[in-house]
Amino acid sequence: MKQYILFFFALISCMSMAVERTILIGPKTIGRGWKDNIVLEARHFATAKAGDILTVYYDQAKRTAQGAFQDPDTWKGIAPQYNYFSLNGPFQLLITDTLLPVLQTRGVAISGHDYRILQATLTDKEDWQETIVWRGPSVQMSSDWSVNAELPGSCFRDLRLGDGLRLHISRAKDDATTKLMDVTWNAIEPAAEGIPVGGDQHTYYLRDEAALIRIALGGTGMNTALRIGGKNYRLDKVGIVRFVGEYSEDLSQAQRAPKEYILQPDELFHGEKAFPLDWRGNLRVSAEKLQNATENDVLIISYQSFPADEMNGRPPVISFRENRGSWPDLSGSQEPNWIPLDGNDIVLTFDSLSLDKVKTRGFVICGMGFTLTRVQIIRAE
């Protein structure tokens, strides 16, 4: 009997650890042009296991916003299905046996465009419950948007605000797109019209009560409550996804996004961007704010060097690269020109060749051992 009691308390203890744990606190703005990202540190995944789920919560998303999970070493999608995807509600990465070593060694970069990250969390797979409510028969969406699947009201009798509609799909082409419609053939909300889909599933979260009402107005029983259309994919199943775990209020180990600032007219960057010792830190500066630059303008780069006891005798350095290909040096050299940092601001001048490069493509700041705080463009006196 004593052994059973001990086993029971051990089981309760393990169950109590299955919580949604915050590992990143925002906000972190992911702006236009795929130029912004934030790397989740590898330490967060030290005790992770295959099947765990990384969830990113966000706001201020434009209708065309996209997200991505990238390998900080290659800056490519950590897996093909994570190269890019459209956003609607929290987006997730399922940790697999293949991805786990990458996460535990290098972490993962959250990227994309046109949204703002609020927080990122880790949970057990079991904390997200999916109930399959429609099993077909499968419907092949044609290229002319003329085909749709009709789902009866009986599928949604337990649907709640915050739930996700998970579309299980196959045979998706590169331009595969879905549309969620009510009984009047109108999108249940603007974000539900023309959603790019790929891989084997897409989850659409119901965050607006109006969308839930539109589905409910379709009726119950076998009356059609939701139409799912689109083009160039096959719809096989539909499930309802719901978080059933508990939330942890412990933020002591959470990574905090750098403080965000409102840029002044002469600023290209203002914040706290770390360039760690593993050389994976970089900042892409878009060409947009450099369109009116001349050879009389200079860039002032401000930073804070890492403490000497963290550097192990290595000097902090910085370089400026072209925003193309393998990032050749802005000077034209294929090899980077590493500039030692002595604590003073860096002043970068332009000649006609480098000015044309930055006005056409922008440029990339690389280096290690410092935190970038400001990039300012001013007219040299």
Report CA torsion sign: 84, 271, 260, 294: negative
Domain 19-123 -> CATH class: mainly beta
What pLDDT, on a 0 to 100 scale, did the predictor assign at position 18? Answer: 64
Could you tell me the residue ranges of all domains in the chain?
A: 19-123, 132-243, 267-379
For the chain, residues with pLDDT lower than 70 are 1-18, 381
| Residue 281 DSSP class | -
Q: How far apart are CA 90 and CA 117, in angstroms?
A: 10
271: Cα separation from own chain's centroid: 19
pLDDT at 4: 45
Instruction: Tell me the CATH class for 267-379.
Output: mainly beta
Distance CA 281, CA 375 (A): 16
Q: Which one-letter DSSP state was computed for residue 125?
A: G
Per-residue pLDDT reduced to its tens digit, 235-264: 999 999 998 888 888 999 999 998 888 889
Task: Give the total residue count for the chain.
Answer: 381
Question: So what's the pLDDT on residue 6?
Answer: 42
Task: Report the run of H or E that residue 55 belongs to, with start and end.
Answer: strand 53-59
Are the CB atoms for 135 and 237 separated by under 8 Å? yes
> Among candidates 344, 362, 342, 345, which has minimal Cα distance to 354?
362
- What is the pTM assigned to this prediction? 0.66
> Could you check whether 132-243 and 267-379 share the same CATH topology?
yes
Tell which residue, 235, 230, 226, has the closest CA to residue 206: 226
CA separation for the pair 360, 380 (Å, rounded)? 22
pLDDT at 19: 84
The model's pLDDT over 190-215, given as tens digits with 9 standing for 90+, comes to 878 888 887 788 888 887 888 899 99
How is domain 132-243 classified at the CATH fold level?
Answer: Jelly Rolls (2.60.120)
